Structures are given as structure tokens and as C-alpha cells.
């Protein structure tokens, strides 16, 4: 059994905010497969699904971003999941908007949701998908930035990225993390520094 965790904050005030990209991706997967989220036995919403013969769970922790690991650990223990079958989807300040990056394992990269997952699972050894939300140099308060909504002129790029993240997740489910990394990790072009 594979569990796909989309990280985000519950509540209408957080809908369409940058920090909720993880929720957006799993919502889109559920929509594509015509499956619904229901309350789980812990602090999360859950939706069982099947893709190309592989069974999986979509999970949206309701513990708020900074405590995501509580819900992740609960699901991992309840369903006796192997860590290689735990797939965490979250936003990433360090990637440009529209860029996705898959990793087999790694640090939290300064992301509080990933930090919580690592803390509660007591390991960095689980696959994850990070979705770029940009990082404007002029904005000093990153909390305000990640909790801000996407601008109108960013929506097309956001939707394209969510589509890519959905396809990458399907690839992970059917073919594993290495194939998904090879297929979906693209090099980020350096910014043009020409005046």
C-alpha cells in the first residue's frame, strides 16, 4: 500500500495559498480518479484509490502544516506502511514557480511541514515531491509570502505545475521513485543576470 500525503493548512482562509500546493495536488488526483475524501480515524482526511492496479491512499493532514508529522505518523503506523511507500507532496520556496522536484530522501530544506514529518517518523528516508512557489527577493517575511494567495498572472503556471505533479505522482505509484525522478526532474535554468 502506498500513501500520498499532500501537506497544507485546513480551512477556507488557507485555500489557494502557496503553502497549500500539497493539498491542491492531491485534490486534483482525487478529481481525476473521481474519488472523495472522508474523515480518517485520526486528524486527517483520507481517500483510497487505485491506479494501474496499484492501491494507494490519498491523505490530507488536518493538523496544520507545522504539525503535519503527527497525522503522517498516525497513518504510517495504522496501515503498517513501509517508508519507501510514503510519498509527501509540499510547496518549496527554493524552486521557481512551476518547477517540481522529486527526491528519494533528504533534509527538510527549511520547510516546517517536512521538518515535522521527519521529526515524527525519526528519519529523512522517504520519497517526496516539492512544488516550486517562487521566492521574491524583495519580500522579507516568508511567513506572509507562503500564506499569500497566488497572483492572477501566476495561475496558468500554477495549474501547469499541479498537472505535472499529478503525473509525477501517478508515475511514482506505477513505476517507483527512480523512474519518476528521471522523467520529471528537469534542470532549472539560471536567471539571466544581464542588465
Residue 9 annotated as part of some ligand binding site:
no
- pLDDT, tens only, 22-60: 999 999 999 999 999 999 999 999 999 999 999 999 999
In this predicted structure, the answer to whether residue 188 has a pLDDT above a threshold of 90 is: no
Q: What is the mean pLDDT of the chain?
A: 93
Asked whether residue 195 is assigned to any structural domain, the reply reads: no
- Domain assignment of residue 125, given as a range: 2-184
Q: 58 is written with which cell numbers?
A: 490519498
Residue 16 belongs to some domain of the structure = yes
Q: Helix or strand or coil: residue 94?
A: coil
> pTM (2 decimals)?
0.94
pLDDT digits 0-9 by tens, 77-125 = 999 999 999 999 999 998 999 999 999 999 999 999 999 999 999 999 9
Tally of structural domains, the chain: 1
Residue 123 lies in a domain: yes
Residue 10 lies in a domain: yes
Residue 81 resides in a domain = yes
Domain assignment present for 137: yes
**Where in the sequence numbering do the catalytic residues fall?**
19
Over residues 56-73, mean pLDDT: 98
Q: Please count the other Cβ atoms lying within 10 Å of the Cβ belonging to residue 142.
A: 12
Instruction: For residue 193, tell me if it sits in a domain.
Output: no
> Would you state the cell numbers that stand for residue 47, as one nine-digit string?
481517500
- Crossing angle of helices 155-175/21-33, nearest 10°? 60
The reported pLDDT for the residue numbered 138 is 60
Exposed/middle/buried for residue 5 (C-beta within 10 Å: 0-12, 13-18, 19+)? buried
Residue 125: inside a domain, yes or no? yes
112 assigned binding-site residue = yes
Write down the pLDDT at residue 186: 82
CATH of the domain at 71: 3.40.50.1470
- Do 91 and 133 form a contact (C-beta atoms < 8 A)? yes
Please, what is the end-to-end C-alpha distance for the chain in angstroms?
A: 52
Amino acid at each position: 500500500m502506498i500513501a500520498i500525503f499532500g501537506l497544507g493548512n485546513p480551512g477556507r482562509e488557507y485555500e489557494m495559498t502557496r503553502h497549500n500546493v500539497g493539498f491542491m495536488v492531491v485534490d486534483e488526483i482525487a478529481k481525476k480518479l473521481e474519488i472523495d475524501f472522508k474523515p480518517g480515524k485520526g486528524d486527517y482526511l483520507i481517500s483510497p484509490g487505485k491506479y494501474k492496479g496499484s492501491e494507494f491512499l490519498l491523505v490530507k493532514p488536518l493538523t496544520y502544516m507545522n504539525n503535519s508529522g503527527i497525522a503522517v505518523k498516525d497513518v504510517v503506523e495504522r496501515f503498517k506502511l513501509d517508508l519507501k511507500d510514503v510519498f509527501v507532496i509540499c510547496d518549496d520556496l527554493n524552486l521557481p514557480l512551476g518547477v517540481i522536484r522529486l527526491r528519494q530522501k533528504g533534509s527538510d530544506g527549511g520547510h516546517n511541514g517536512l521538518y515535522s514529518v521527519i521529526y515524527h517518523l525519526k528519519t529523512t528516508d522517504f520519497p517526496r515531491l516539492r512544488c516550486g512557489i517562487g521566492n521574491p527577493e524583495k519580500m522579507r517575511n516568508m511567513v506572509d509570502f507562503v500564506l499569500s494567495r497566488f497572483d492572477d498572472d501566476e495561475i496558468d503556471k500554477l495549474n501547469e505545475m499541479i498537472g505535472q505533479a499529478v503525473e509525477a505522482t501517478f508515475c511514482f505509484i506505477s513505476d517507483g521513485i527512480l523512474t519518476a525522478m528521471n522523467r520529471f526532474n528537469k534542470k532549472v535554468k539560471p536567471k539571466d543576470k544581464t542588465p
